[in-house]
Structure formats: structure tokens, C-alpha cells
Amino acid sequence: MLVLNSGSSSVKYQLLDMADGRRLAGGLAERIGESGGGGRIVHTSGDGGRRERTLPFPDHAAALGAVGEELRADGLGLDSPGLAAVGHRVVHGGTRFTEPTLVTDEVLEEVRALTPLAPLHNPANVTGIETARALRPDLPQVAVFDTAFHATLPEAAARYAVDRAVADRFSVRRYGFHGTSHQYVSRAAAGLLGREPSEVNVIVLHLGNGASASAVAGGVCVETSMGMTPLEGLVMGTRSGDLDPAVVFHLSRVGGLTMDEVDDLLNRRSGLVGLCGDNDMREIVRRREEGDREAAVAFDVYVHRLRKYIGAYTAVLGRVDALVFTAGVGENSAPVRAAATAGLEGLGITVDPELNAGRGGGARLVSPPGARVPVAVVPTDEEFEIARQAFALVGRSPR
């Protein structure tokens, strides 16, 4: 299975062997469409060997062509008869796409029609699909949606309390994102506990550059922190997360900012970067330890928001069987995990300082043995989840 995550100027790819889940190759083609011909592809082979090339990428077709060349150099070309299908990450499925979907012309049209809800992402995802289809028209292409896992949100969680007619007319509701990650991680957490996903209630904290929380009851997502767009919820690398919407009116009326300027401010110049100039948690923790006040406040605002969501989702679920940290910050930052869970013994949540500070490759518990709410670190694997779902759809169930 080839998995493609196509952005407006980059394509991330991974080739997976579904017989054993092995990663055969992967990489990133970036700077697509940049003038000056400065495209770059970084490719990692299954044996860990890394190659890097710069060459012009006038469009996605050129970038995917280079991906094909790199794969061919590993003996795994796009023309390989073993390639079963291509799984594509698609950001927004609206209310229309709640399952992995075999791509047809009609499906592409419908994904394109959702562009107003994801103006940067969906057009790039469509371009990636079209390019892959042109290269291998005989192969099934499967779209796997970031929003799909959240389609089960009850109306009480999905609806904003705004005028019904206006909301419905403009598709204003909460969709949620990072769905493949929340799905993969909540299942893997059940596995770590030796239980079926249907038996456990899990809070997942996906803390990457983008960040979101979800409450998953018996394998079904019942609440998530991102909303109509990925802007809502947790404090992120460059996004503000939750905000009084009147801040937007104020910035417009009093600050004189245009809508595009407010959009840019809240999506790209806020969050950790807005608070302290850095969005890398390693750097923020280092600066904080050196007594940097801005970094300390950024850390505290980030953690305070996380703690609010842990409390809220405990109330939503009623019974919590695991609290799970994932993605770049969640998997790697012991200080964030420690601060986010400090003093939550009343909720049954504690971490063991030694286990929390330890580094381990796979999924692991960081709470003391016998803790009422196990706290886990589970590395996310969105590409594997996309491959698994797409592969299941094309009729050859993996493993």
C-alpha cells in the first residue's frame, strides 16, 4: 500500500507491506510549485538508508514522478505488481464522508465541493489524488478522511449553539480532525491494556504541532476539541485554540485588521509561537528552565488548557480507563505529561516520575502499577491507519 499525504506544496509518502505492517520506504517531496526550481525530496529506504535530491517540482506530478524514481531505485516502483492500492489522507469529509471511500470522478467532485470548509487542504488533497490516478489509472485509490472518526459525535457535542437555520445553511458545526490518529491510538491503548476497544473509555491527547483531544467511549468518538476547523480547542504550535469569538470582532472593529489578517494571526502567529516566539516544545522547556518568563507563561497556558480538557472529558466519559498521550509533544515531552497530570489524583490520574522520564520506542504505561486511570504513551501512526483502512476497503484484509 502506498500512502500519500498531499499538501499544497509537499507530498509525504510511505510504502507499507500489509502482510506484516513493515515500512518499506517513505519520505517527503517538498517545495512544490516554488519558483526558482528549488524542489527537494528526502527519501528513506526500508533499511534506514537516506537519500536527498534537489530538483525542480513545478507541480505535484513532477514531485510524484520523483517519488516513483526513488521507490524504483529501491526496487519498489509505482509500476510494481505488488502495489494493491493508494491510500490518500483527505482533511475534510464534511458530513458526506464518514468512511474510507473508493475514489471516483463523483467522489473527487464532492471532495472539491467541500473546499470552503478546508480551503488550503482539500484542493491539495484532490491534486494529489488526481496525480496518483493519472500515474496508475488501474489502481484503486482510497480517500481516508481526517474528520471521519468524529462522525459519531452526538448532536449535543457537534452542534454550536447558534441559530439553527444559519448554521445548517453554511455547514457550521463541529467536525473534528486528526481522526485517523485518534482512532489508531485509542485502539492501540486498548491493546496495551489487554482489552477490546469496545470495552474501554479513553481520553486521547494528540499533541503535535497541531493538537487535539478526543473522548472515545467503547471505540466510538463522542467528543473532540477541534471544531468546524482545526482552530478550536487546545493551544497549538501556531494556533490559538479556544478563544472568545468576540476577539475577532474587536480586532476587526478596533484593531482595523482584515478577516485575512485575523485568520493569519490566529492560525499562524498565535499558540506557542505567539506567546513566546518558539513552537518547539523542547526549546520552550529549555528556556523555561533557564528562567525565561515568556517561555514559562507559554508552557503554563498550554498545560492549563490541557488540564481543562482532561477534566471536561472525564465528565463527558463518566468512567475513564486510560489517558493517552501521543504525537511529537505527547510522545516525547515528559515535562508536559507531568505538568498536565499533576494534582489530578482526585480523578485517579497520576504518573510515575521514573516511568514518565523513561524513553521507550513503543506504547507504554507511565502511571504507577495499579493506578485507577492508566496513563499511557502511544506513538501514533497515521500512515499505517490510512493503509489499514484503505486496504480493508479494497478487499484484502491485512494481518
Instruction: Enumerate residues 228-247 that contact ligand ADP by CB under 6 A.
Output: 237
* Sole residue written with cell 507504554: 364
Identify which of residues 321 and 331 has a Cβ nearer to ligand ADP in the complex: 331
- The answer to whether 332 contacts ligand ADP (rule: CB under 6 A) is yes
Distance CA 269, CA 231 (A): 12
- State the number of CA atoms in the 13 A half-sphere of 24 facing the CB: 22
Number of H-type helices and E-type strands within the chain: 15, 14
Residues 6+ apart with CB under 8 A from 198: 218, 219
- Grid coordinates representing 72 are 524504483
134 within 8 A of 386, measured Cβ to Cβ: no
- 3-state DSSP: the chain helix, strand, coil percent, rounded to 5? 40, 20, 40
Q: Quote the crossing angle between the two packed helices 246-253 and 259-268, to the nearest 10°.
A: 130
Q: Could you give the string, one character per residue 278-317, with x where binding to ligand ADP holds by CB under 6 A and - elsewhere?
A: -xxxx-----------------------------------
CB 76 within 8 A of CB 84: no
The window from 165-173, 208-216, 227-235, 341-349 that contacts ligand ADP (CB under 6 A) reads 208-216
Interface pick for ligand ADP out of 333, 350, 356, 389 (rule CB under 6 A): 333
Shortest Cβ 278–ligand ADP spacing (Å): 9
Query: What size, in residues, is the chain?
Result: 399
**Closest approach of Cβ 63 to ligand ADP, in Å?**
19
Is residue 277 near ligand ADP by the rule CB under 6 A?
no
Which of the ranges 24-32, 55-63, 190-198, 276-284 carries the binding residues for ligand ADP, by CB under 6 A? 276-284
**Is 328 among the residues that bind ligand ADP (CB under 6 A)?**
yes
Distance in Å, CB of 234 to ligand ADP, minimum: 12
Among 209, 238, 252, 267, binds ligand ADP (CB under 6 A): 209
Q: What Cα–Cα distance (Å) separates residue 351 from each residue in 56, 189, 302, 319, 348?
A: 49, 16, 19, 18, 10
* 327 binds ligand ADP, rule: CB under 6 A: yes
Catalytic residue chosen out of the listed positions 105, 146, 263, 300:
146
- Verify binding: residue 208, ligand ADP, rule CB under 6 A: yes
Q: Work out whether 153 is an interface residue with ligand ADP (CB under 6 A).
A: no
Say if strands 220-224 and 211-217 run parallel, antiparallel, or are unpaired. Answer: antiparallel
Min. distance of Cβ 349 from ligand ADP in angstroms? 21
CB of 235 vs ligand ADP, minimal distance in Å: 12
146 is catalytic: yes
Binding site for ligand ADP (CB under 6 A): 208-210, 237, 279-282, 327-329, 332-333
Q: Which residues are catalytic?
A: 146
